[in-house]
Amino acid sequence: MSTHAVDIHAHDDGHGHHQKETFITKYIFSQDHKMIAKQYLITGTLMGIIGVMMSLMFRIQIAWPEEPNILFEALLGKWAPGGVMDADMYLALVTIHGTIMVFFVLTAGLSGTFSNLLIPYQIGARDMASGFINMLSYWIFFVSCIIMMGSLFLEAGPAAAGWTIYPPLSALPMAQPGSGWGMTLWLISMALFIAQSLLGSLNYIVTVINMRTKGMSMTRLPLTVWAFFVTAIIGVVSFPVLLSAALLLIMDRSFGTSFFLSDIFIQGEVLHYQGGSPVLFEHLFWFLGHPEVYIVILPAMGLVSEILATNSRKPIFGYRAMVASILAIAFLSTIVWGHHMFVSGMNPFLGSVFTFTTLLIAIPSAVKAFNWITTIWKGNIQMNPAMLFAIGFVSTFITGGLTGIIVGDSALDINVHDTYFVIAHFHLVMGISAIYGMFAGIYHWYPKMFGRMMNKNLGYIHFWITAISAYGVFFPMHFIGMAGLPRRYYTNSAFPLFDDLTDVNIVITVFALIGGAIQLVYLYNFFVSIFYGKKATQNPWRSTTLEWTTPVEHIHGNWPGEIPHVYRWSYDYSKPGHDDDFVPQNVPLKEGEEEMQH
């Protein structure tokens, strides 16, 4: 049976199915990639709201320690006696904030939303390879979110070992209040999260390899699809390692093994654990933890490449170099994890090896940055909110990346390790950059998701205040980090050395509160536009990729009738000899016209 026959067959099935859709099969247990993308996006948005609220609470605590706060008393109850936050609760908030943002917002919000939405659309497929597995992966993700949130309501409190959950805090249930049931629920939630990630990733890989439409060779794929494809491969390689670490940790906690524990004293009493090593856990955790940074940032890079080319009205500069740099980043990301462990007593020679591989990854990252800048250069730039966030992404990626040279060098890192300098570095390069990529993608593909446009002026306000606040929060952190202020301390009032830094912490917190508040404008714009936004035209950004050839109203199977064939690469903007400044991929080459070399 030819693939074309399979497509038509799937399409017919789809139409048969389309007539009998109920509310539950359409909106809840949907197997349609477009609906699953929306489910991931809205769930990720809700988790993001919780994660940001947590960060605002612990920022208020650092800026004004020991001061009673009505908000704390109302939200934290017994964890804030008299309105003053408990030290254990502070660490728990930091832990859950980090977990939510890294895994549930950035990984699921970017990969889950945009891989689902764009892979079938941009390669010319009716849907994902397996709609059922796609639906299953979303619902496992949803259950994982519920369990993580449920841990907030436990008597002893949620997990409180930092989002990296290093033993012994995470391995000994009696270590502190958050080491009990809260930690167990954290581990169960993460095991489910990893399962859904693997299911989703396998689905994305199979779809890209097997379901491309006629003429869609790998070198004609948009950079978005390349980014999602390679991200899925990194996920399949590295996520199982974290699963093994979580399972060994569960055995240490509940079954008396000692993989990660050795020679531990509690109140003068020797525990019976021997022979394990907490450093083994660090290796297992960071073998996922560092590729995770690229699992988060690569999809954002793909989205930004697409948006910059579309809104500069120019072909992307150096397409093949961009694909090669995505592959190089994927490979190098799996051999740099040791730079998180320079202060763990690592052999200095091994430290120098990890320093070398870490600095090496700057090369493909720089290729991408220069190519983005060259794409914009002399372009006919359309400054819509998506374009602003894409340019913001390039800015924060470069500024955050520069400090990576310091924390990636073993000799320099020892001075700033576990200070606010590291927080500033990874929040800019991974947190803020990835969130900018996500916002850019939402503003750009919103008409494709919901058939309506978001309000442009609210988008401008959202971008500018977010951008100023983000730098206002993370730029000063570099300086208090270099002054030696340690991370995860709920108050620094015990150290007269840090008294001079109190005012800087207040400034950071004020910017954080402004940045948090302006997200309400975005949320208003997002949810109100679903119902009242201006109706979208079929191709509002005059873009070349295949998703804009589908009708505005979603139909099961994406295209009515036959799937379009592809005749050219994804970035035919401003091509001489054509009336429009863009030529969609499904337009055949004119006589004598050559496909653009890339």
Domain ranges for the chain, please list them: 2-12+33-261+271-549
CA pair distance 103, 434, nearest whole angstrom: 12
Beta bridge partners, 265, equal 270
Q: What is the predicted pLDDT for the residue at 471?
A: 97
Cβ(183)–Cβ(165) under 8 Å? yes
Instruction: Give kind and range of the element (H or E) at residue 269.
Output: strand 269-270
Tens of pLDDT along 335-374? 999 999 999 999 999 999 999 999 999 999 999 999 999 9
Q: What is the pLDDT of residue 271?
A: 84
pLDDT class of 432 with cuts at 50, 70, 90:
very high
Is 90 exceeded by the pLDDT of residue 510? yes
In degrees rounded to 5, what are phi and psi of residue 573? -100, 145
Q: What is the mean pLDDT of residues 193-197?
A: 96
What's the CA gap between 231 and 333, in Å, rounded? 11
Rounded to whole angstroms, the Cα distance separating 187 from 166 reads 12
The pLDDT of residue 14 is 42
Helix, strand, coil % (nearest 5) of the chain?
A: 70, 0, 30
Q: pTM higher than 0.85, yes or no?
A: yes
pLDDT tens digit string along 563-584? 999 999 999 999 888 889 999 9
**Whole-number pLDDT of residue 10:** 43
**pLDDT of 17 above 60:** no
Q: Is the pLDDT of residue 9 over 60?
A: no
**pLDDT for res 598:** 61
DSSP state of 419: B
Residue 359: its pLDDT value, please? 95
Q: DSSP readout, 176-233?
A: SGGGSHHHHHHHHHHHHHHHHHHHHHHHHHHHHHH-PPTT--GGGS-HHHHHHHHHHH
Cα torsion 397, 598, 330, 98: sign: positive
Mean pLDDT of the chain: 93
Distance CA 594, CA 581 (A): 17
Q: Where are the beta strands (DSSP E) in 435-579?
A: none
The amino acid that residue 504 corresponds to is V
Higher pLDDT, 77 or 438: 438
State the Rg of the chain over Cα.
Answer: 25
What count of residues does the chain have?
A: 598
In the numeric block, the tokens 């934290």 are attached to 76
**Cβ-contact 44, 109 below 8 angstroms:** yes
DSSP string across 550-584: S-SS--TTSSSSSPPP--S-TT-BS-TT-SSSB--
**Token pair belonging to 319:** 């397409």
**Taking a C-beta distance cutoff of 8 angstroms, is the pair 124, 546 a contact?**
yes
Query: What is the pLDDT confidence band of residue 3, given thresholds at 50, 70 and 90?
Result: very low
Taking residues 110-116, report their average pLDDT. 95
Asked if the model's pLDDT at residue 213 lies above 60, the reply is: yes
Number of alpha carbons in the 13 Å side-chain half-sphere of residue 117: 27
CB-CB neighbours of 101 under 10 Å: 26
263-264-270 Cα angle (round to 5): 90
Query: Which of 4-8, 103-107, 393-397 has the least mean pLDDT?
Result: 4-8
Rounded to an integer, what distance in angstroms lies between the CA atom of residue 81 and that of residue 540? Answer: 54
pLDDT of residue 265: 85
Looking at residue 597, its pLDDT comes to 62
Supply the pLDDT for residue 594.
82
Q: What is the pLDDT of residue 12?
A: 41
Position 551 pLDDT exceeds 60: yes
pLDDT of residue 335: 94
Distance CA 426, CA 103 (A): 15
Q: Which pLDDT belongs to residue 272?
A: 84
DSSP code string of 51-115: HHHHHHHHHHHHHSTT---HHHHHHHGGGSGGG---HHHHHHHHHHHHHIIIIIIIIIIIIIIII
Q: With 70 as the cut, is the pLDDT of residue 529 above it?
A: yes
pLDDT band at 11 (very low <50, low <70, confident <90, very high): very low
At the topology level of CATH, where does 2-12+33-261+271-549 sit?
Answer: Cytochrome C Oxidase; Chain A (1.20.210)
pLDDT grade for 422, boundaries at 50, 70 and 90: very high
pLDDT digits 0-9 by tens, 170-191: 999 988 889 999 999 999 999 9
17 or 423: which leads in pLDDT: 423
Q: Is the pLDDT higher at 419 or at 263?
A: 419
What stretch of H or E contains 266? strand 265-266
Closest CA to 264 of 274, 255, 253: 274
Residue 18: both structure tokens together: 């389309």
pLDDT exceeds cutoff 70 at 297: yes
pLDDT at 26: 83
What pLDDT digit, counting tens, does each position of 238-276 carry?
999 999 999 999 999 999 899 999 888 887 888 888 889
- What span, in angstroms and rounded, lies between the C-alpha atoms of 392 and 386? 10
Q: Using 50, 70 and 90 to split pLDDT, how confident is the model at 19? A: low
Determine which of 16-20, 352-356, 478-482, 503-507 has the lowest per-residue pLDDT on average.
16-20
Q: What is the rounded distance in angstroms from the CA atom of residue 398 to the CA atom of residue 123?
A: 31
